[in-house]
Amino acid sequence: MSDNADALNAAKEVLKNNDRGLYTAPAEPYPHQWLWDSCFIAIGLRHLDVERAKMEILSLLRGQWSNGMIPHIIFSRGREYRRDQNIWRSWASPFAPDKAKTSGITQPPMLAEAIVRVGQKMKTVERRSWYRQVWPNLLAYHEWLYRERDPHGEGLVLQVHPWETGLDNSPPWMSELQNHLLPTWIRIVKALRLDLIIGLFRRDTRKIPDGQRLSTVEALALFDAQRRLRRKAYNTSDILDHSLFVIEDLAFNSILVRANDHLLDIARSIRADVPPELLKNMKLTVKAFEELWDPYTEMYYPRDFVTHRLLKEPSVSSLLPLYAGHISKERAAALVKLIENEHLFGPAYPIPSTPLNSPWFNPERYWQGPTWFNTNWLIIDGLRRFGYHHHADALTESMLELVKEHGCYEYFNPITGEPLGAENFGWTAALTIDLIAPPKATTRVPK
């Protein structure tokens, strides 16, 4: 482990510098608290300071809405952040908390995983009291997911904005946008090439080259989509006919399947009752998940909520059923083949957020090609549970190599390893710490 010492120190330094007291900011361009960032960050922090890791999770819960939703952003206080808070105006909803200003949508439900991982660092009594402390929030969140986001009781939960997937501009969502959903005013902007001028005013490309972010047309559409949700005060039943996007996302539902298993483990450990309705829904999810499999291309995909049409654009989400678990060994093996293929998901610095053979692939553009640490971490966890330890070790090694060579960047070019996006990125640091820590034999191999 000694050759990992420098990477470990660099990662610890990033977490220290991004620490904002109650929570850890993802990086300089992202000053607020993000849901899945904090979950991944807590998973790293637990190796350094369990109390601080608990705080990272508890500070997320201060943003929870009274209907159970955990928002994807809790805004930093301070006048300089009013503009960001005003974009969302969470106070338009009667469910939003009074004490925190938040966004009005959620992000992949990584909460249960983070709670369990932090709990692994405690003795049994302490762990049970930790579980009891967060149980009401976790339960309310999962109940919200089904009540609001599975309105037809079909087992899969829907997302109303690409930001809810955490993979902002990933191909299945962006191809839906470009082919079917682009609002007229943005089509006009595009046709007149006004995006070139509007792009000059973007905040996110001030410090990061625009070739590494979303295109301006995509960014405009995401803001348009957000406005539509705000107009309906983020109320799902009002949103459904009004939203630009209504998609049952593959990454989100993969993470939900795993989170449900963790929720059940937590309930068992503290002898808490899981409401029968939730139990029924969770069982249905495992079954419904298989409807996302396409036998012709032998891959899982996201699905249009209304028509049930599969959105057949491969992306890193195509591999996340490995993390979900419950899929058959044969299907897991089919996904591992994709990772092994150097023309798909297996270039020099895997795993790209879009396979190399996709027309969407761009090695530098955000979630359309670069390698990200959080999706890799999820895949490693899945690979281990399916017994692919050699693959998991190789992936871990290539990630640590990136950090040793360049530091904790937001993402990396999967072909050259070049560091991209923001430097000193929170989850890259936290997951580096977790990957360096000796593995714990706590995970079960799926049946």
CA-CA distance, 161 to 138, in Å (whole number)? 22
**Is the Cβ of residue 97 or residue 166 nearer to ligand 2M8 in the bound state?**
166
Q: How far is the CB of 309 from ligand 2M8 (least distance, A)?
A: 25
> Of these, 23, 34, 88, 377, which contacts ligand 2M8 (CB under 6 A)?
34
Minimum CB–partner distance for residue 126 and ligand 2M8 (Å):
29
Residue closer to ligand 2M8 (CB basis): 288 or 402: 402
Q: Which distant-in-sequence residues (6+ apart) come within 8 Å of 194 by Cβ?
A: 188
- For the bound state, the minimum distance from the C-beta of residue 163 to ligand 2M8, rounded and expressed in Å, comes to 4
Q: Which stretch binds ligand 2M8 (CB under 6 A): 31-39, 313-321, 342-350, 395-403?
A: 31-39
Query: Is residue 207 classed exposed, middle or buried when 0-12, 13-18 and 19+ CB atoms within 10 A define those classes?
Result: exposed
The residue type of 314 is P
Query: Minimum distance between the CB of residue 35 and ligand 2M8, rounded to whole angstroms?
Result: 7
Nearer to ligand 2M8, 361 or 366 (CB): 366
Of the candidates 336, 351, 333, 344, the one whose C-alpha atom is nearest the C-alpha of residue 398 is: 351
C-alpha torsion angle, residues 173, 175, 177, 179 (rounded to 10): -150
- Report in angstroms the alpha-carbon separations of 427 from 26, 94, 146, 271: 7, 32, 28, 32
Q: Two tokens at 262?
A: 């963790």
CA within 13 Å, CB half, 243: 23
Shortest Å distance, C-beta 337 to ligand 2M8: 27
With contacts defined by CB under 6 A, name the span among 28-36, 78-86, 111-119, 258-266 that binds ligand 2M8: 28-36
Binding-site residue total for ligand 2M8 (CB under 6 A)? 9
Residue 304 annotated among the catalytic residues of the structure: no
Q: Which two tokens stand for residue 299?
A: 């891959």
CA-closest candidate to residue 67, choices 168, 169, 144: 144
> One symbol per residue from 42 to 81: x for binding ligand 2M8 (CB under 6 A), - otherwise; what is it?
------------------------------x---------
As measured in angstroms, the least distance from the Cβ of 20 to ligand 2M8 is 14
Q: 176, 248, 364, 410: which one is catalytic?
A: 410
Measured from the CB atom, the residue of 158 and 167 that comes closer to ligand 2M8 is 167
Q: Which is nearer to ligand 2M8, 35 or 288 (CB)?
A: 35
26-34, 74-82, 171-179, 237-245 -> range binding ligand 2M8 (CB under 6 A): 26-34
What DSSP string runs through 233-261?
A: TT-HHHHTTT-S--EE-HHHHHHHHHHHH
Nearer Cβ to ligand 2M8 (60/310): 60
Could you give the 3-state DSSP secondary structure of residue 405? helix
Residue closer to ligand 2M8 (CB basis): 155 or 426: 426
Catalytic entry in 37, 56, 168, 248: 168
Q: What radius of gyration, in Å, describes the C-alpha atoms of the chain?
A: 20
Q: How far apart are CA 61 and CA 266, in angstroms?
A: 17
Q: Report the phi/psi class of residue 258: left, alpha or beta, with left for phi > 0 and alpha for psi in -120 to 50.
A: alpha
Exactly one of 8, 12, 36, 259 binds ligand 2M8 (CB under 6 A); that residue is 36
Q: What is the C-alpha to C-alpha distance for residues 20 and 444, in angstroms, rounded to an integer?
A: 35
220 contacts 183 by C-beta, under 8 angstroms: no
What are the CA-CA distances from residue 231 to residues 69, 226, 335 (Å)?
A: 18, 9, 40
- Annotation marks residue 265 as catalytic: no
Name every residue whose Cβ is closer than 8 Å to that of residue 188 and which is 6 or more positions away in sequence: 194
Closest CA to 443 of 403, 400, 395, 386: 386
The answer to whether residue 30 forms part of the interface with ligand 2M8 (CB under 6 A) is: yes
Integer Cα distance of 90 and 333 in angstroms: 44
Among 8, 37, 111, 251, binds ligand 2M8 (CB under 6 A): 37
Q: Minimal distance in Å, beta carbon 56 to ligand 2M8?
A: 14
Output the smallest distance, CB 64 to ligand 2M8, in A: 17
Q: Which of 11, 15, 26, 379 binds ligand 2M8 (CB under 6 A)?
A: 26
Which residues from 159-218 bind ligand 2M8, rule CB under 6 A?
Answer: 163, 166, 168
Closer residue to ligand 2M8 (CB): 137 or 212? 212
Catalytic residue positions, numbered = 168, 410
The binding site for ligand 2M8 (CB under 6 A) comprises 26, 30, 34, 36-37, 72, 163, 166, 168
